[in-house]
């Protein structure tokens, strides 16, 4: 479980988050949605301690993120940031291997190598494993970063807009993989998504943010409703049920 209480954040004199209170239960996929600038990345950065906590309290699996040693936290939670800088003269397999760092701290063991190989396979990177990162397309690079994050082997996985640059095939594959690891391995996935239909199709729960606050949170069916979506995004959209699934018509 991730518990966030009374969290506010001010940067450069501007209020970025305002008294955020949120519980993300253990297990399954929780989608974090909301307009640009709502504070989604800022909240993820605080949970993953990429940004120091200024007020309030955040715990992950009972560990307070501001006082637990990074080494310990890195075995519990992994994050893929929205715009991670990556050294380009690195091969895909090496990058993915970095995900194992909290475990081996320098040198991959045979078991680490097996996990890296499985992640390369799982994210359809087998053929690219020896390529340098700077020779990849945006989507291939994004997949390598997601594979690195998974390789860390943590129970909690935070992903900030991992579908960026992915084509429909790979976006769908990634969401299905997340769904599967949530279901089969009891992992807790917190994922920032812009495509509301991926959230509708694959998330157990949706948390919506706007103007630095959580404005809606609940089971997917309770959030994927025209009135709730309009209150979050500020324009009307249709919600239809197609072949048993909710689909949001927001482009028309
Ligand atoms: N270092 C910073 N200094 C000042 N403002 C920032 C900083 N980082 C982010 N912001 C502002 O905080 C708000 C929330 O940003 P962010 O968390 O990235 O939103 P989201 O991920 O929901 O698009 C935005 O208005 C952004 O401009
Ligand atoms: Mg963001």
- Dihedral of alpha carbons 191, 193, 198, 200, sign: positive
Whether 74 maps to a domain, the answer reads no
Asked if the structure places residue 97 within a domain, the reply is: yes
CA nearest neighbour of 232 among 240, 224, 243, 221: 224
Split at pLDDT 50, 70, 90, the class of 96 is very high
Residue 236 falls inside a structural domain: no
Domain that holds residue 125: 83-153
Indicate whether 165 pLDDT > 90.
no
Q: Report percent pLDDT > 70 for the chain.
A: 100
Say what the pLDDT of residue 185 is.
82
DSSP 77: E
Strand-by-strand arrangement of the 2-11 sheet:
14-24, 2-11, 57-60, 63-64
Distance, CA 14 to ligand 1 centroid (Å)? 9
Average pLDDT for 113-119: 93
| 134 is a domain residue | yes
Position 32 in a domain: no
Ligand 1 mean position, distance from CA 81 (Å): 13
Domain-embedded: residue 147:
yes
**C-alpha torsion angle, residues 98, 99, 100, 102 (rounded to 10):** 100
| 133 belongs to a structural domain | yes
Residue in 137, 173, 149, 42 with CA at minimum distance from that of residue 95 = 149
Q: Which atom of ligand 1 is least distant from the CA of 16?
A: 12
Model confidence at 196, in pLDDT bands (50, 70, 90)?
Answer: very high
Question: Lowest mean pLDDT: which of 53-62, 96-105, 229-238?
Answer: 96-105
How many structural domains comprise the chain? Answer: 1
Could you report how far apart the first and last alpha carbons of the chain are, in Å?
38
- Asked, for residue 225, whether it belongs to a domain, the answer is no
Q: Considering only CA atoms, which residue is closest to atom 24 of ligand 1? A: 37
Q: What 3-state DSSP class applies to 230?
A: helix
Nearest CA to ligand 1 atom 13: 37
């Amino acid at each position: 479980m991730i518990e966030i209480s009374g969290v506010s954040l001010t940067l450069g004199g501007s209020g970025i988050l305002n008294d955020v209170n949120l519980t993300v239960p253990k297990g399954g996929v929780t989608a974090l949605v909301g307009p640009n600038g709502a504070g989604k990345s800022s909240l993820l950065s605080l949970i993953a301690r990429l940004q120091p906590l200024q007020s309030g309290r955040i715990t992950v699996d009972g560990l307070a993120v501001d006082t637990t040693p990074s080494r310990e936290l890195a075995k519990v939670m992994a994050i893929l940031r929205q715009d991670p800088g990556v050294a380009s003269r690195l091969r895909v397999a090496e990058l993915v291997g970095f995900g194992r760092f909290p475990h081996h701290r320098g040198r991959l063991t045979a078991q680490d190598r097996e996990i890296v190989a499985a992640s390369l396979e799982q994210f359809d990177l087998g053929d690219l494993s020896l390529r340098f990162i700077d020779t990849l397309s945006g989507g291939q690079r994004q997949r390598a970063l997601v594979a690195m994050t998974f390789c860390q082997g943590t129970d909690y996985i935070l992903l900030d807009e991992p579908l960026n640059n992915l084509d429909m095939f790979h976006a769908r594959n990634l969401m299905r993989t997340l769904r599967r690891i949530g279901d089969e391995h009891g992992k807790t996935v917190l994922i920032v998504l812009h495509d509301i239909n991926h959230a509708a199709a694959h998330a157990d729960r949706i948390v919506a943010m706007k103007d630095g606050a959580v404005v809606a949170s609940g089971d997917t069916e309770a959030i994927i409703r025209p009135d709730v979506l309009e209150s979050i995004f500020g324009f009307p959209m249709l919600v239809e049920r197609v072949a048993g699934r909710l689909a949001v018509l927001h482009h028309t």
